[in-house]
Amino acid sequence: MRKKEIKVAVIDLYNNEINEGIRCIKDIITESNKDISSTNVSYDIFDTRYKNEVPDMSYDIFISSGGPGSPFAGVDQKWEHDYFSIVDKIWNNNQREKEKKKYIFFICHSFQMMARYFKFAEVKERYEKSFGVHPFRRTEDGKRDPILSNLPDPFYAADFRQFEVIEKNQRVLDELGGKILALELEDKEKKHASAIMAVRISDEIAGTQFHPEADPTSMVYHLDQEERKKYVSEKYGVDKYAEMLSYLEDPDKLKLTRRTVLPTFLELAIKALSS
């Protein structure tokens, strides 16, 4: 029997910055291809911010990456116009009942772009940078959602935030049928509102502010850099830095998030597209 062909477009928003994110996404797609024997899953990388490369609608699944800097840096630039254009086409395609659905997952920087597009929350510069492996909490909707349902409370994920999605617009979420799936842990001193960490807009569209693709190798790459090691140690303390390193090998923390969130999204998308 001929295998079903599934095409994945990886939208690279790293703007030519050296990163581990794209490698991690590619690894997860490759693993998904091995896990589902009835399909052949291929992928192409589109260097959107740096080379103005944007996929067309021939792809079945889109994964939009993290990236550096402000989510408003592309305003009035061609790449941002083209990026929102493909998101618009995916959304409009999925509103037509007879069309084959397109799936898209937004990560970190892309999650902030997602919030700008759908307007379900504010996107603001964070009061201070967040960096490292941190705990997050699921909402009641998150506990029921397949991409988070097998995670504990709290769950742990890689987090790199200079900007953040915050202050939900419930009216817009209701109109979209969207659900907030995860939140930042509450500030003990209650000085700052909890950022939104995961959202589902529809069966086909979801995103996370954290990096679900991050694996121990990628986090060692980040945590070993002297500037970042100093930042984490000074902000959280040397003991917390050591604790973050221990999270990398704990099968119930970063590793669990990595093998759960994006692989489940892909698995469900591939099965739906193959049926």
Residue 229 included in any domain: no
197-236 confidence digits (pLDDT tens): 999 999 999 999 999 999 999 998 888 888 878 877 887 7
Full domain range(s) for residue 107: 4-126+135-213+257-274
Q: Is residue 85 part of a domain?
A: yes
- Give Cβ neighbours of residue 21 (< 8 Å, ≥ 6 apart): 14, 65, 66, 107, 211, 213, 214, 218
Report if residue 105 sits inside a domain: yes
What CATH number does the domain containing 103 carry? 3.40.50.880
Q: Nearest CA to 187 among 195, 197, 179, 198?
A: 195
Residue 83 domain flag: yes
Does any domain span residue 237? Answer: no
Q: What is the pTM of this model?
A: 0.95
* Domains: count for the chain: 1
- The verdict on residue 226 lying in a domain is no
Determine, yes or no, domain membership for 209.
yes
What does the CA dihedral 152, 110, 95, 143 come to, rounded to 10 degrees? 10
Check whether 1 has a pLDDT greater than 70.
no
Residue 269: its H or E element: helix 254-274
Q: Are 133 and 235 in contact (CB under 8 A)?
A: no
Per-residue pLDDT tens for 27-59? 999 999 887 777 899 999 999 999 999 999 999
User: Beta strands 39-47 and 4-12: pairing type?
Assistant: parallel
The pLDDT tens digits of the residues spanning 151-190 come to 999 999 999 999 999 999 999 999 999 999 999 998 776 6
Spatial CB neighbours of 264, under 8 Å, sequence gap ≥ 6? 146, 147, 150
> Please, which residues have CB within 8 angstroms of residue 102's CB and are 6 or more apart in sequence?
57, 59, 60, 61, 62, 90, 93, 94, 204
Query: Is 246 domain-assigned?
Result: no
Residue 179: which H helix or E strand, with range? strand 179-184
Matching residue, tokens 């704990």: 250
